[in-house]
Amino acid sequence: MTAESPPVRSVEEVNKQFFGEFFNENTVDYLSKSAGSRWFRDLLLMILDRIEPGSVNSVADVGCGIGHKASILKSHFRTADVSGFDFSKSAIDVATKAYGANGIAFSCDDITEAKYETCYDLVTAFDVLEHVDDWQGLAKKLADVNNRYFIISVPVGRMRPYEVHIGHFRNFQIGEIEACMSELGYRTIKTFYAGFPFYSPILRDLTNHFFKAYAKTSHSKMGWVAKLGHDVWYVLFRYFSMKQKGDVFIGLFDKGATAPS
């Protein structure tokens, strides 16, 4: 008698299970020390420097997770109403506990629903579109609730096998996001394609080989040895990796803006 094969899960099911269970309070500590998270913060701050803080009164961080990036947005747009949205209740619970006191509102609301009437000066979708089958449709729905600025980050280039296990439908190609945003009426203001060679391909290939260990890292407290390792990787990412060659895309788009100088 042969053993039955486990049922094949859809990408949607992987997303719901992985991110429904992924977050806990240790994730907050992990992201504050993680090399990748700290390096991405540097890239994001360079993007945010292109936006005058006083020009933004409302921010929606879609797929906010535990609110780490929403907290960065709040630090930059201090007087703005910043909201974080995620389908994972566990993520929203952790985000509210960690950052709610900073004046950020977190919820599981779907701002793309027709009944949702709020329109935001800035909408962000950090590492969201690769988890969605109809990503162009979601981008259009988010553009419909956006007054001006839109920031998107996605992985680009070769998709590793481990990414299927974290709910990725795809990686993107160079210029693909810019083309979509142009069709939606946006101008590209600033982009990075960052990470070569230490984040990509080196770390991404290592992650692919050691995915089972990697998948558990953010659930537990980071020890001093791991922290030292992350400090080394952070230096390699920030000071020895390119900002216009690599697998990490982040871009700022402005609805109806003139071409940047």
Mean pLDDT, rounded, for 25-35: 86
Please indicate whether residue 113 or residue 3 has the higher confidence score (pLDDT). 113
* pLDDT of the residue at 28: 86
> 45 lies in a domain?
yes
> 4 lies in a domain?
no
* pLDDT of the residue at 226: 87
pLDDT tens sequence across 195-204? 999 999 999 9
> 168 lies in a domain?
yes
Query: Domain of 157?
Result: 11-254
Tell whether the torsion through CA atoms of 103, 149, 84 and 44 is positive or negative: negative
> 259 lies in a domain?
no
pLDDT of residue 258 exceeding 60, the answer is: no
pLDDT of residue 164 exceeding 90, the answer is: no
Minimal CA–CA distance to 157: which of 217, 251, 247?
247
Minimal CA–CA distance to 107: which of 96, 118, 98?
96
3-state SS string for the chain: CCCCCCCCCCHHHHHHHHHHHCCCHHHHHHHHHCHHHHHHHHHHHHHHCCCCHHHCCEEEEECCCCCHHHHHHHHHCCCCEEEEECCCHHHHHHHHHHHHHHCEEEECCCCCCCCCCCCEEEEEEECCHHHCCCHHHHHHHHHHCEEEEEEEEEEECCCCHHHHHHCCCCCECCCHHHHHHHHCCEEEEEEEEECCCHHHHHHHHHHHHCHHHHCCHHHCCCCHHHHHHHHHHHHHHHHHCCCECCCEEEEEEEECCCCCC
> 260 lies in a domain?
no
Q: For residue 204, what is the domain's CATH number?
A: 3.40.50.150
Minimal CA–CA distance to 118: which of 128, 107, 127?
107
> 98 lies in a domain?
yes
The Cα–Cα gap between 184 and 143 comes to 7
Q: What is the pTM of this model?
A: 0.89
* pLDDT of the residue at 232: 97
Cis status of the peptide bond prior to 161, with omega within 30 of 0: no
pLDDT tens sequence across 227-250? 999 999 999 999 999 999 999 999
* pLDDT of the residue at 177: 98
> 112 lies in a domain?
yes
pLDDT of residue 4 exceeding 50, the answer is: no
pLDDT tens sequence across 113-155? 867 778 999 999 999 999 999 999 999 999 999 999 999 999 9
> 35 lies in a domain?
yes
Confidence of residue 212 (pLDDT cuts 50, 70, 90): low
Confidence of residue 3 (pLDDT cuts 50, 70, 90): very low
Q: What are phi and psi of 123, to 5 degrees?
A: -115, 135
What count of other Cβ atoms lies within 10 Å of the Cβ of residue 30? 21
The Cα–Cα gap between 20 and 1 comes to 35
- Domain total in the chain: 1
